Structure 1
């Protein structure tokens, strides 16, 4: 895992990842958030457990995404971590039992207040509809990543 961007002022970071399955990449991202002080040491296990019960894979086109998150009790400070995978990893599809999708981008949420969750998810769903933007993110365009992440974290 390598950090591409870490913006403490705006509470986001972006990392590149490689792994063989969803649990591996989720744990790597959770570790990055923990290193930055955004989440507690319980976050990684909590997010893996939640993903197994409530999957977050979204088949939105050529580039698919996942939005793993968990309860605020595992969070120190709100943040968003973008994970750009070297190669796609299989995730279970949100709300579709038994369905899977190959995910290339992850947006891991560390949400401090439950009332903030729906607004953030709505912004992400809207973003995920734009395959051109997702392609720019996947290509590691730092200007585009900063632009997108800044828009996500703004209230």
Structure 2
């Protein structure tokens, strides 16, 4: 299973300014390419996949997006925790025609098909923990945000 080492401090971003999911992907793609996490297939494939299969989860207290793409676009597995400066409309996973206001995005990069299933279960478990989600909003710096993310429970129901 992929572990906590998959969550990358150098891919952690607080207050990213973006007006759409595509803009989030474009901005993060530059970072991912520069650091060698993805190849040139990443940006077109994640945009295409997100438009076909949106990834915003209608969890409480706030929706969270978990975009991911095909394994052949990923060089090194990662989770990039991103908090946007403002909410943006993001397609609802359960109803692609419905938009949710998202501020927390966990970009997932896995290079082995199926390797992410247990990790997604762990993330889903934590997304349902209001005190953990609240800590993500309270973090003031990227270091604090990363520490808050890393404080997730590493088990699932």
TM-score after normalising by structure 2: 0.82
CA change 1:119–1:30 in 2 (3 A) is farther
The answer to whether the aligner puts 1:145 opposite 2:140 as a matched pair is no
Aligned to 1:14: 12
> What are the residue-to-residue correspondences of 1:94-105 with 2, within 5 Å?
94-105=93-104
Deviations 1:25-78 (A, max 9, x none): 122223222222111122111111100001000121232210000011001010
Deviations 1:78-100 (A, max 9, x none): 01101110000100100213111
Unaligned runs of 5+ in 2: none
Q: Size of the alignment, in residue pairs?
A: 146
> What are the residue-to-residue correspondences of 1:1-155 with 2, within 5 Å?
10-11=5-6, 12=8, 13-16=11-14, 17-140=16-139, 142-143=143-144, 145-146=146-147, 148-149=149-150
Q: Would you say the 8 A contact 1:120–1:152 is kept in 2?
A: no
Moved more, 142-151 or 19-28: 142-151
CA distance in 2, matches of 1:147, 1:18: 21
CA change 1:152–1:39 in 2 (3 A) is farther
Q: Would you say the 8 A contact 1:31–1:44 is kept in 2?
A: no
Unaligned runs of 5+ in 1: 1-8
Q: Secondary structure of 1:10's partner?
A: helix
Shift of 1:119: 1.1
TM-score after normalising by structure 1: 0.83
CA distance in 1, matches of 2:113, 2:146: 25
Q: Would you say the 8 A contact 1:57–1:94 is kept in 2?
A: yes
